[in-house]
Structure 1
Amino acid sequence: METSKVATSLSPPCSDTAQLEADPHREIISHLRQTGSQAGNTENLTNNQQTCTQDINAVLREMMNRVAFSASLLDSGSEDIGPFNAQTNLVFKRVIANIGNAYNPNTGFFIAPVRGVYHFEIFICGHGHASHGSGAVLFKNGEHIITAYEHQASHYVNGGNSATLLLEVGDVVFLRHWQNTRIHDNQNHHTTFSGHLLFPM
């Protein structure tokens, strides 16, 4: 009887043994679950980063596609320019708008930032003169595209023209003063050069 009691008291219960054997498996399972969760989080993070990168690129493309400018010949004051014996580059100094910064008020050059179809407008003003009209020429790179010209003997004269051009990245559009003519501008900013991107190609 006593031997049986001693043996019984020395033997651990079956449930405790099963618990000891199961505990290491629980830790492994828990670790695997955590690892799987972390892997899922990493995948989500990667997807989020890719989405953010795509969004940023889309915004940058949209910003590049916003191109428009307008400038008048004089920043201030009143002045007659010309006449000159040869065509002379015109620099429109007063910037009214320059979205995309494609127009340079120091050189008078518009440089296309993206390939696309652009529209340009020129308006010139002058004091009427018996010998000198008022004129300007729009150039694409070195190519003569259009001319705005007006001539009368007295009073103010105004002329204008416009053109739609397919431009490649880096193409330069600018104006030249037509030879032997006079152009006027003042605080009312009559003489202007404007352009904008219609759509990219």
Structure 2
Amino acid sequence: MKTILSVSSCWFLFVFIHVEAVTDGDFQSLLARLSVLEEKQANLETENKLSQERIADLEKYKILSDKRVASLERKNALCNRRQGDIIKKLYADKVALETDKILPDATTTTNEYDKNLSASDRKIATLENDYAASPNLSGKDDRYSAADDIAVLQSKQKRFVAEGTVAFSAMKVAHQEHVGINQNIVFEQVLTNEGGGYHQNHGVFIAPQSGIYVFSSTILCFQNGEVLAEMVHNGNPVTNIYCHGDSGRHDQGSQTVVIKMNAGDEVAVRNFYHADDSIWGGQFSSFSGYLIWLQ
């Protein structure tokens, strides 16, 4: 009996030692695998951190690139304005030279003729001049009437040149959603851009020359939507545009203003009240402007 108990004890001891050895080996294997996984996780975290730094660098580079593009566009607009001013000045100088050429010839001829007149002829000429200067049948002095006509023609010519130089009109085709506060509303489809002042990528008009401008904008909001936008001159609010759709329908708001601008001034339309707003496209929203008078 003692022999059987001794053999049983040895057998249990052997099994216990074997199980303990197997369990310890598995535990060591799990620890090794866990160490490998932790190392891989650390490597992934390092790569993720590097990727985030690269993304941040790319975003900074994009911001700098956008600023450079905007600066180049402004410089280009200023160059175009200077070129237009030079052409207008050359044209004005040409007109002035032609006018100066005509007037001295007429004055010289009159002076020489007056020198040759006798005393009696001078009296007759004086009477004729007084008669010519007297009011005509229309009640206006002939000389002043001619001067007024010339002034009107010059005014019309100046206005015509101005209106034919700078004018733009752009439409919004795609819907613009998730528009933040103070974010520009971009009208990407350009119908007219005489003078090259409107920049469709940013929705900004940069005045190529100084003068009096007319601007107009129309905004269509989504069904049951509400939009409160503003037209800004150099970042300063000029007027507001409001639309509020209800009962499952759209709504549309418009504004027109007259602004005195210097060359290089900017005008844009932007959202300013609701964050995450939406603007309806489909050529229902627009932004237009034109120069009516040079300064």
Q: Tell me the distance in 2 between the aligned counterparts of 1:160 and 1:82.
A: 21
Instruction: State the alpha-carbon separation in 2 of the partners of residues 68 and 106 from structure 1.
Output: 17
Map of 1:13-92 to 2, 5 A cutoff?
A: 54-55=90-91, 62=161, 66-74=165-173, 78-82=174-178, 84=180, 86-92=181-187
Specify the SS of the correspondent of 2:280: strand
- 1:159 corresponds to 2:253: yes
Q: How does 1:93-172 map to 2 (within 5 A)?
A: 93-129=188-224, 132-153=225-246, 154-172=248-266
Distance between the aligned counterparts of 2:286 and 2:93, measured in 1?
34
The amino acid that maps onto 1:125 is L
CA shift in 2, pair 1:80/1:114, >3 Å: closer
Query: Relative to structure 1, is the Cα distance of residues 120 and 103 closer, same or farther in structure 2, using a 3 angstrom cutoff?
Result: same
Paired positions, count:
140
Alignment RMSD, CA only?
A: 2.6
- Counterpart residue identity of residue 91, structure 1: V
Q: Distance in 2 between matches of 1:67 and 1:161?
A: 20
State the match for 2:271 in structure 1: 177
Aligned to 1:191: 285
What is the alpha-carbon distance in structure 2 between the residues aligned to residue 128 and residue 105 of structure 1? 26
CA–CA distance in 2 between the matches of 1:170 and 1:162?
21
Structure 1, gaps ≥5 residues long: 1-52
Higher-helix-fraction structure:
2
Q: Deviations over 1:115-140 (max 9, x none)?
A: 110000000112232xx402321110
Which is richer in strand?
A: 1
Distance 1:133 1:118, change over 3 A: same
Q: In the alignment, is the contact (CA less than 8 A) between 1:64 and 1:100 conserved in 2? A: no
Residue 91 of structure 1 deviates from its aligned partner by 1.7
SS of 2:254's partner is strand
Aligned partner of residue 182 in structure 1, secondary structure: strand
Distance change in 2, residues 1:92/1:80 (3 Å): closer
Residues 64 and 111 of structure 1: is their aligned pair in 2 closer, same or farther, counting only changes over 3 Å? farther
Q: Report the residue type matching 2:261 in the other structure.
A: L
1:114 maps to amino acid: Q
* Structure 1 residue 80: Cα displacement: 5.0
Structure 2 gap segments, 5+ residues each: 1-88, 95-157
Q: Distance between the aligned counterparts of 2:223 and 2:278, measured in 1?
A: 9
8 Å Cα contact 2:221/2:245 also seen in 1: no
The answer as to whether partners of 1:88 and 1:179 remain within 8 angstroms in 2 is no
Q: Percent identity?
A: 27
TM-score by length of 2: 0.43
Distance 2:197 2:258 in 1: 17
Q: 3-state DSSP class of the match of 1:166?
A: strand
TM-score, normalised by the number of residues in structure 1: 0.62
Of structures 1 and 2, the one with the larger relative CO (CA 8 A, separation 6+) is: 1
Cα shift at 1:65: 6.1
Letter matched to residue 159 of structure 1: G
Structure 1 segments of 4 or more deviating over 6 A?
Answer: none
Change beyond 3 A, Cα 1:125–1:64 = closer
